[in-house]
Amino acid sequence: MFQQMMTFVRIAEMGSITRAARSLGLSLPMASRHLRWLENELGTTLVRRTTRALSLTEAGQEFASRARALLAGIDEAKEVVRPGRGATGRVVVAAPNALGTYQLSSIMPSLAAKHPRLCVELRLEDRPVDLVKEGVDLAIRAGSPPDRASLVARSLATNKRVLCAAPCFLARHGAIDSLSALAEAPCVLHARYGAIDSPAAPAASPSVHGSGPAVWDFDTPEGRKSIKVDGPLRTNNVVIIRDAVLAGVGVAWLPDYVIGDQLSAGRLVRLLPDAKLPPIRVYGIMPKQARQTAKVRAVLDILGTSLRAQAAQLAD
């Protein structure tokens, strides 16, 4: 039954019997036989098939979740009796595009070097992800940890938000030397789409959901102050925000890891250094059953160490 369960879990993760068979090195008829055997053994239908799509039944979703936990436990048991050989297996990691491109990309080679028998599938996408249904072992997210009993979170690092503008914008608009001046300036806003409580939701504050002004909170020598801002552009993609700010569209806050080079080169100017925006906290979020596996711990340990080192270097 082990092989049939493994085949079914891979079908559930990939949404395709063909792709699942290919990834496991099985023929398509063999993978289909594994699925039929499992459904006959359980006495229920696990997968709905149409000419265009494949989806799990309610029973299939429940069985996939439990089967994934059992398979993870087997992987963990193997690691216990293989001391000193490093983590093994496949780990699916989901992350937002910008965080993955600017921070995780430089970490992947060291992860591969330290754990050569570990296969990491890094999925970069800016949308809500259902970790259990989509077979994601670990989601790297910025914002607040999820308030869900089925998920656990581990703090990995803290990054700074930097308020900035381009020199061409400041030459045209005038200096932004106070929070009241900021409130009058056109700004480029961060938008949030999808389920806010999802582990895939982007950083929650300061931001905006829907239309209308955003409220940016600052910690100042005089205490916390909230400023209402608005502007001609809002998006959930920080690269587009960065490019708009570089082009002089307006003022924005951006993660320090996105604009460090632009600040050093003078293409962007840091504004109001005494007014601090709340930091961006980065978490590793995982289903409870994945928390204790050696392969997930190995990925978390390296990501946490490397992300904290990157944050410290940017702070220097």
pLDDT tens per residue across span 10-51: 888 888 888 888 888 889 989 888 998 988 888 899 988 776
Greater confidence (127 vs 149) lies with 127
pLDDT at 143 over 90: no
pLDDT of residue 207: 46
Does 273 score more than 90 pLDDT?
Answer: yes
Q: Identify the residue whose tokens are 């608005």.
A: 230
Average confidence (pLDDT) over 61-90: 71
Greatest mean pLDDT among 159-168, 285-294, 305-314 lies in: 159-168
Closest CA to 267 of 161, 160, 169, 159: 169
From the list 41, 42, 54, the residue with the least C-alpha distance to 11 is 54
Q: 94-119 b/e with 16+ CB inside 10 Å = b?
A: bbbebbbbbbbeebbeebeeebeebe
Query: How do residues 95-126 score in pLDDT, each as one tens digit?
Result: 998 899 999 999 999 999 988 888 899 999 88
User: Angle, to 10 degrees, between the axis of helix 17-24 and the axis of helix 28-42?
Assistant: 110
**pLDDT classification of 82: cutoffs 50, 70, 90:** low
What pLDDT shows up at residue 68?
A: 78
**Predicted confidence (pLDDT) at residue 201 exceeds the cutoff of 80:** no
User: 151: how many CB neighbours lie within 10 A of its CB?
Assistant: 18
Q: What is the pLDDT of residue 198?
A: 35
The more confident residue out of 49 and 73 is 49
Query: Residues with Cβ < 8 Å from 210, sequence gap 6 or more?
Result: none
- Comparison of pLDDT for 32 and 52, the residue scoring more: 32
- What average pLDDT does range 203-208 have in this prediction? 45
Residue type, 85: R
What 3-state DSSP class applies to 14?
helix
* Residue that wins the pLDDT comparison between 107 and 290: 107
Question: How high is the pLDDT of residue 276?
Answer: 93
Residue 3: predicted pLDDT? 85
Is the confidence at residue 172, as pLDDT, over 70?
Answer: yes
